[in-house]
Amino acid sequence: MRPQDVVTNRPVPVDVEQAEAALVEHYPRLVRLAYLVLPPRLGRNRRVLTAHALAQRSLPRGRTPAGGAGLPLPRRSGGGAAADPGYAYVRQRVLRQALEAGLPLRRRAWPKRAQLPPLLPQVWGLRLFPRSGGADELALDQRLSALSGPGRAAYVLRGLERMQDAEVARTLAAAGAADPHAALAEADTVEAPGGASVAALLGSAEFDPCSLQARPTDLMRRRQHAKAALAATAAVVVCGALLGLPGEGWGPDGAAGPAYARNPAAERALDPTETVKVAAAVWKRSSRTDFSVWPARGGLTRDNALLRRALAVWARPGPSVQASATPATPVGPPMGPPQLLFAGDVDQARVVLLYDGLRVVRYAEPRDGTAGAALDFARVDGADAAAANALVVGRTDGNVRYLTAPWVRAASVRDLLDPAAVPTPLKRTADGVTAPLTSPAQARDCRSWDALELRDDAGPRLMTDLGELAPARLTSGPPSAPRDVSGPEERARWARTACLLPAVRSHGVRSVNSWAFAQQPLPEGNGTAAWLCTRAETWRGTGSRVLAQFQAPSAKRGAPGAIAARAEHSPTCGVRDPRVLAGVLWKSRGGNWYVLAAGSGQFRSITTSGGVRGTAEGNLLAIRAKAGVQAALEGRVESGARVGALR
């Protein structure tokens, strides 16, 4: 053994300049290390920003021993980063902060700096995340998310830093890990997916927080928040002006009590002992079948302290509460004691679901405290048995769990993009909480679309997550008689419609109906195309969205149809106006262009004008045209009235 191969326990001093040089030279590697060790629950955007913040906060204040007490100088053989005392010190600092960021917040202890959101860097209006890798990288990310922070660190130090177990144990101990050997044992349980190299997987673009993709945040919500901020600022200015006036300020309020007066009705609504708890068998004999007959379920229904916090946050959400609401949903306190639907542990949170006849409210807090509590509102008034089949009870790492209605007999998962596949059974707890399933509302692409299939006395019903508390029901058929999706033909059409559902996501959607209103033989023997009208109805009644689709024959599985037209706040394709007319410019396999149009069964003729002129009897039209031509459509219905195309 050569002298330079011996590990020495003598700390080597490191000054600021040496550590800064190591940080600048190995910055991408250090940020990747922090990103891999940080807890996945932070989400990819915050993990990226936190990883950069931890690396940038890792310089020493002065001259300090390399790696701190107890961390030996790395082996000199091999050269590179492994032989650099400055790099060893900065790596230890990054690792310690990344492990501290995964610790739970405690009520009686000051939070560590790494546990708080980073002050810098900050990115406004964008979400940043690494480039997507392949199936092996995704599988490894899921397996690492199941490990503890020290377990992830042990796995990454082995694979990324090429350390031996003894070095890993010493490095973890110096970084503050309580049991390094347990972390090594935990890392042993993770195998590289597909037999791939661990170093190659950890060095892939999936885990590179320095090579990023950018996407906007929720633009509609940003606009709403900006308007709300302007309105609040104007209100503060007006209040200040009025309060500054001599005399009574606002003026006398008649018989009204003073501000924040104790009101018995309001206090009763916020009393946890007054919450309505329906018995388990009430729904079997009730004349109604909706949320009002859901029994109170969960292991924490008698935890009055939890219920008190949920009701208090509902009435007075503090500035740290993450609140959301579906469009046009009032967010004020309950008018009376609400009904308790669920209170229990879901993944790493305590969750309470409440219902007041108009809204379902979900309150969630971490198991180890109340910091980071969330409050979600959703309108569910007028729900029937089909619409009251399930509620979202938890979301974690791109997965969703549902609380199913007491009348649901079985639950399964059906991939809408694979209409021939058999649905996969979905396990439920005794309280009706499902096992986690992938949420399509949070997916980055549309390679699959997992819908929830619930079976009750009326048969199977398809529900899908669109980013809200109440999943949307999927149906097929004419607007006058929509029905639950059944049969291979309807599932095949939904397979080409599912990837268009993000257009109605987070919009307060109650149901989505897809109606095949026409079949059209294509010119030159190119097969038969289907024309579909997809209409999303909302809980509030207004704000519906309509898409007209043209589905030409395609060999690609789940290929979405072409959107021929779209409209908002329109009665078209609904119960009030079940007529629809749409057209597209289509190219045949022979290279010829045509204007194709189709209307629902009420149309007796279709006329095109503008760049292409022609008329066809019946509800189908096909006319030769040139590339890029623009034409206007109009149809005549049974009554003789002229109806324009959807737009």
594 domain residue, yes or no: no
Q: Which two tokens stand for residue 169?
A: 């144990």
Residue 631 domain-assigned (yes or no):
no
Rounded to an integer, what distance in angstroms lies between the CA atom of residue 225 and that of residue 423? 41
Q: Determine contact, residues 15/23, Cβ cutoff 8 Å.
A: no
- Maximum C-alpha span of the chain: 100
Would 440 be classed as within a structural domain?
no
Do 195 and 271 sit in the same domain of this protein? no
Look at residue 51 in the predicted model and tell me its pLDDT.
87
Q: Is 155 left (phi over 0), alpha (psi -120 to 50) or beta?
A: alpha
* H or E stretch at 146: none
Taking residue 255's Cβ as centre, other Cβ atoms within 10 Å add up to: 5
Tell whether 625 is covered by a domain.
no
Compute the radius of gyration of the chain from its Cα atoms.
Answer: 30
Domain stop point among 383, 399, 433: 383
Residue 441 has what pLDDT? 82
Integer Cα distance of 480 and 476 in angstroms:
11
Looking at residue 227, its pLDDT comes to 64
Residues 195 and 282 both lie in one domain = no
SS3 state of residue 54:
helix
Measured from the Cβ of residue 406, the count of other Cβ atoms closer than 10 Å reads 18
Pair 75, 163 in one domain: yes
198/91 same-domain check: yes
Q: Which residues have C-beta within 8 Å of that of residue 251, sequence separation ≥ 6?
A: none
Residues 311 and 211 reside in one and the same domain = no
Ramachandran sector of residue 35 (left: φ over 0; alpha: ψ -120 to 50; beta: rest): alpha
pLDDT score, position 65: 54
| DSSP tag of 337 | P
253 assigned to some structural domain: no
How far apart CA 531 and CA 548 sit, in angstroms, is 7
Q: Which DSSP symbol is given to 110?
A: P
**Tens digits of residue pLDDT in 482-492:** 999 988 999 99
269 and 347 within one domain: yes
* Judgement on whether residues 51 and 116 belong to the same structural domain of the protein: yes
Specify the pLDDT at position 575: 93
The SS3 call for residue 371 is: coil
> What is the reported pLDDT for 107?
64
Question: In terms of domains, do 40 and 185 share one?
Answer: yes
The pTM for the full model equals 0.62
What are the pLDDT digits (tens) for 273-293?
999 999 999 999 999 999 999
Write the secondary structure of 444-462 as one string of H (helix), E (strand) and C (coil). CCCCCCEEEEEEECCEEEE
Angle between helices 85-101 and 44-56 (to 10 degrees): 140
C-beta separation of 130 from 211 below 8 A: yes
For residue 346, give both structure tokens.
């879901």
Tell me, yes or no, whether 139 and 26 share the same domain.
yes
**Residue (of 525, 546, 544) closest to 534 by Cα position:** 546
Residue after which a domain boundary falls, among 334, 367, 383? 383
Domain identity same for 196 and 315: no
**Residue 495 placed within a domain:** no
Counted domains in the chain: 2
Do 268 and 201 sit in the same domain of this protein?
no
Residues 6+ apart with CB under 8 A from 27: 55, 210
For residue 101 the two structure tokens come to: 């960021």
Q: Which of 353, 383, 413 is the last residue of a domain?
A: 383
Range of the domain at 305: 264-383
**pLDDT value at position 122?**
75
pLDDT on residue 622 = 96
**φ, ψ for residue 153 (rounded to 5)?**
-60, -40
With a cut of 50, which residues of the chain have pLDDT below it?
A: 1-10, 66-80, 242-257, 259-260
Q: Is residue 66 part of a domain?
A: yes
The SS3 of residue 27 is helix
| 59 & 127 share domain | yes
Which residue, among 394, 403, 360, 402, has the nearest Cα to 378 in the 3D structure?
A: 360
How far apart are alpha carbons 140 and 593 in whole angstroms? 48
In the block, tokens 């400055």 appear at: 86
| 347 assigned to some structural domain | yes
